[in-house]
């Protein structure tokens, strides 16, 4: 069965939204898992650990906001998702000194799905385009 282009675009955006929700949850859990030991160590590492925790919690929050907006097909949320994906890659490089991890693939998939579903974002910011029946 062949789907019309509008339904394909809608499916791509919903999958991208789901990936953002998954990344939101795992980033939040990672912030807790990485932050607690860093905060429990000496004073020099405590400041760096606190900064990392705050940055990761902020990224988790923004991923959640982008996912919710993508479910509503808001163009602003598409830009937000692409921007936070780039910021997350920069944060991961700063922490791990490597881009070779599963989240790079998830971020690339999210951006590609948003680009493939871009036609769904036609119209103004508040306008939601109804699928063609």
- Tens digits of per-residue pLDDT, 85-103? 999 998 888 888 887 888 8
Task: List the structure tokens of 47.
Answer: 């400041």
* Domain-located, residue 127: no
- Please check whether residue 99 lies inside any domain of the structure: yes
Q: Which residues of 42-66 are buried (b: 16+ CB within 10 A; e: fewer)?
A: eeeeeeebeebbebbbebbebbbbb
Distance, CA of 5 to chain centre:
24
Number of domains the chain is built from: 1
- Closest by alpha carbon to 115, among 79, 65, 61? 79
- The verdict on residue 16 lying in a domain is yes
Residue 18 inside a domain? The answer is: yes
Output the CA torsion sign for 129, 123, 76, 110: positive
The two counts, helices (H) then strands (E), for the chain are 4, 0
Quote the pTM value. 0.80
pLDDT digits (tens, 9 = 90+) for 60-74: 999 999 999 998 888
Provide the residue range defining the domain that includes 109: 5-121
């Amino acid at each position: 069965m062949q789907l019309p282009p509008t339904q394909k675009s809608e499916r791509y955006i919903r999958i991208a939204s789901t990936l953002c929700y998954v990344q939101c949850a795992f980033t939040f859990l990672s912030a807790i898992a990485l932050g607690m030991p860093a905060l429990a160590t000496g004073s020099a590492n405590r400041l760096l650990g606190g900064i990392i925790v705050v940055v990761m919690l902020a990224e988790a929050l923004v991923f959640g906001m982008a996912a919710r907006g993508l479910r509503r097909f808001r163009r602003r949320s598409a830009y937000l998702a692409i921007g936070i994906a780039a910021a997350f890659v920069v944060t991961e490089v700063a922490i791990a000194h490597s881009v070779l991890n599963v989240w790079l693939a998830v971020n690339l998939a999210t951006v590609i799905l948003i680009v493939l579903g871009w036609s769904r974002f036609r119209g103004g910011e508040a306008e939601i385009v109804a699928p063609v029946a």
